[in-house]
Each structure stands twice: as structure tokens, then as C-alpha cells.
Structure 1
Amino acid sequence: MTSFLSGLLSPGAAKHRATVATVLAVCGVVSLTACGKTIQIGDRKDPSTPAPAPAPATSSALPTTAAPAQGAGNSALQVVDSTARDAGLNGTGGTVVGAAVQETPPKWVQLSAVTSPQLPVAHLININQAALYRFDGDTAAPSQSNCNDACASKWPPVIIKEGGNVYLAGVNPKEVGAIRRQDGQVQVTVGGWPVYRFSGDAGAGDLNGQGVDGKWFAVGPTGQKAVR
């Protein structure tokens, strides 16, 4: 059986440029309602904070809907099983590349599964064709980032504006989630693993972060380590 991903080399592309994958849509007709989902942003919990006391039982026979607690920090994102271009969008959504500082969260991000000459197994890139990574020091269950401050400067998290869209190519929507980081920003997860860029990747197709410190690896479409 052939893989559902196949790299396409553009004419005149550099040898080390990542190649955008050809992807078979999960659904026959791609649409937000048929193939996408809405996800909630989970707060990064401090394990030292005691859990709130359970609400007292009510004797009312009428159903009630509790309003979200103020400051709960949850907000919906839309995960769309199609590309940004399919949605009529151009540009990058506000994402940056390399060591550039992400001043404001992008309005949307795109995760695309590709293969490349350096790494011929499926791994993820963003709309700028920057390789995306996962960190063995994080956890996937529960999803939590342990890369903050200086670490996050070297390994910028893939962040997104609350209420934004995550577009996909070759990634199952069920694998995509989001967490709230220590600094309050919203970070995208795949297979529960928070995903990052690497400041040492200067351009499309670079994979300079692969294997750094034995803990950083390109991330695959289900959150797995993408290794040969």
C-alpha cells in the first residue's frame, strides 16, 4: 500500500527545500461541519493548586446551564480539515520564520504533513514551510509544555490567537488540540504534544533542530517522533 503522502518537488527548488505533500482528503467533500471540529483551550494547571470544592447538589427539577467561570481561560478554536488556500486565504496568518519573534498570535496556522530529502518520513511544517518539533521534556497526557522563558526563545511555540483557525493538510483533525501556556498564550498540540519551531532553522526545509540534546525531534502527523 502506498503512503497517503508524497512529496512534490517544485521546478528549480533547492535540494534541501521541504516538499509539500499530496494529501487525500479524509472526507469526500471537505467542509468545517463534516470534517472539522471545535476545540477548547485547556489551561496549564498548577499541580499545587487545590481542586475547587464540588458544587452543592440542587433540588430543582429544572435543568440549569452554568455560565463559564470568570477567568477560566477556555476559548474555542476551529480545526478545519482543509488548507487555508481552500478557505480562500492568502499569506501566512501572521506567522514568522527562523529566529523572528512572534509579537502577536497568528489569526490562523496551517499544519501540513510532508516528506523531504533530509527526512523521508512524514513530518509537519507550517505555512512558511518551517519544520515543527516536539520536546521529550513535555507531556502529552495531560498536554503540557515545559519549555518556557529562555527555552521558548530558542524553541518558539506554535501559538495562535484565541478564536482562530487551524488548517490541515495530511493531519487528522482528531489529533489537534491546544493548551494555555505558562505565559497565557495558546499553543497548538498534535497527538497531545505541544509543537514548536526552532530558531536555528533559517529557511524552508531546514531541520537543524532534529535530535538536539537527544530530546527535540521533528513531529509527525499523530504527534510521534519523525525519525528514519
Structure 2
Amino acid sequence: MTSLSTRPPSRGGAARRAVVASVLVLCGAAGLSACGKTISIGDSSPPATSSGAVPSPSSSATAPGQGAGNSALQVVDSTAQDAGLSGTGGTVVGAAVQEAPPKWVQLSAVTSAPLSGAHLININQASLYRFDADTADPSQTACTGACAVKWPPVTVQEGGNVYLAGVDPKTVGAIRRPDGQVQITVGGWPVYRFSGDSKPGDLNGQGLDGKWFAVSPTGEKATR
């Protein structure tokens, strides 16, 4: 088993919380210093704001209840444990089929050999990946059908939460997949796990087909 070193949860100050005008920042809940944002999942990329800033691709930030028919997804800058949660939120491991989207997802930045930089894992400590055939601007997936069986997308249920450890909330978004499910994005890139990884620390999908790479906390490729 590969040793994983988790970075501490990212806690930004006032400057960090001053995100683009299109993002509603939520802070101070339950006496915690955790901050985050609420995004409403749409079927296409939103237009640029009047200031020229563009919200996370294929998602638009909005106040709860203002989603114009779309369910709000909350990105929380603290861990699930900090929120009093235990378990996995409903995520599965390895080749197991994700029968239903999890109630919540956690993205954590870790360092582990043989990668020199940080990469993301989920609450099950499964490595997460990005696909070069996808696009980040606009956020779009090219992995459907048999591809999505081998590389299951990281999904979350409508109205669910995404908890973070060592990840900037500003980098996290979501898209509506062709099958209607909501897939998490980081830096605009749709995020997946690999069915060939079965235990914590596995990175069996790294570099596969020259197109699949562990994803960094900013959405870049995590390489050796």
C-alpha cells in the first residue's frame, strides 16, 4: 500500500474569499471558518459576467433556491468529518458499479510516490484522474458508454455537497453528463476514478493510453 500524505484543509482569508462576483461565498456556518460556494448545474456553459469573469464551466454560481429549475450543489471548504459526517457518502471502490450518485463527495489533495506533485483522491482514498480527450473550457466529457464503465465519473446527487481538503473551492465545478448525472470538475476538467484501482494509493491508471493522468488540485496533470 502506498503511503498517502494528506494536505491540511484549505482555509482562505479575506483575499481568498473575494472570488469573482458571480460566486456566492458562504462562510461562518456553525461557528466554523469554512467557506465555499453554491453552484447551479446547467446543461451548457453560462455567459460571461458583466465584469468579464466567467463562472465555472457548465455551472453557474447562484444563491440557494435561485437555480432556475436546476438543483444547487454546495462546495464546502472543509472536510466531511468537520461537518460531522462519517462513512463514504455512498461512493464505491474499484470496479464496483456506482448504482446511484453519492450524497456527498470529498476531494483531498495528497502526495504519494511515484508522483512528485500533489494529486486528488476521494473519501475512499481512490486516486482521481482527468482525460485528455475532454475539454476544460467549456467543460465537456468525451468518456461515455464503455469508457465510463472503465473510468467511472466522479458524480454527486442533485443538491449534494462536495467537501474539500487542500483544494481551492474556486477550482471546483460540475457538469451535466449526457445521461443526466452531475459530474464534478476541477479546473474545468471532468474528474474520474479508475476501475483498475482497488486499494488506497493505487495509481494504475496513470499515463494509460497516453491520455489519462492523475489530476492535481488545480485540474492540471499530476506527473512524475
TM range (shorter): 0.7 to 0.9
> Could you tell me whether the CA contact under 8 Å between 2:128 and 2:215 is conserved in 1?
yes
Aligned partners of 1:103 and 1:137: how far apart in 2?
Answer: 25
Contact 1:187 1:195 in 2 (8 A): yes
Uncovered stretches (5+) of structure 1, i.e. residues with no partner: 1-13, 46-65
| Alpha carbons 1:143, 1:192 under 8 Å: kept | yes
TM-score (norm 1): 0.78
Q: 2:202 aligns with which of 179, 200, 206?
A: 206
1:97-140 Cα distance to aligned partner (Å, 9 max, x none): 10000001000000000001222311000000000000000000
Is 1:20 aligned to residue 6 of structure 2?
yes
Alignment correspondent of 1:174: 170
Residue of 27, 33, 49 corresponding to 1:33: 27
Cα distance in 1, alignment partners of residues 89 and 113 from structure 2: 27
Give the fraction of aligned pairs with identical amino acids, expressed as a percent.
Answer: 71
Name the residue aligned to 1:142: 138
Q: Given that residues 44 and 181 in structure 1 are in contact (C-alpha distance below 8 angstroms), is that contact kept between their aligned partners in structure 2?
A: no
Larger Rg: 1
Q: Give the alignment's TM-score, normalised by structure 2.
A: 0.79
Instruction: Go from structure 1 to structure 2 and tell me whether the alpha carbon gap of 1:67 and 1:153 turns closer, same or farther (over 3 Å shift).
Output: closer
1:43 is matched with which residue? 43
* Structure 1 pair 168–41 and aligned structure 2 pair: CA distance change class (3 A): same
- The counterpart of 1:102, out of the listed 98, 105, 116, is 98
Q: What is the aligned partner in structure 1 of residue 61 from structure 2? A: none
Q: Which amino acid aligns with 2:194?
A: F
- Separation (CA, whole Å) in 2 of partners of 1:158 and 1:185: 10
Q: Distance in 2 between matches of 1:87 and 1:221?
A: 21
Q: CA deviation at 1:33?
A: 2.4
How many positions carry a matched residue from both structures? 189
Structure 2: give runs of 5+ residues left out of the alignment: 18-24, 29-34, 46-65
| Superposed structure 1 runs of 4+ greater than 3 Å apart | none
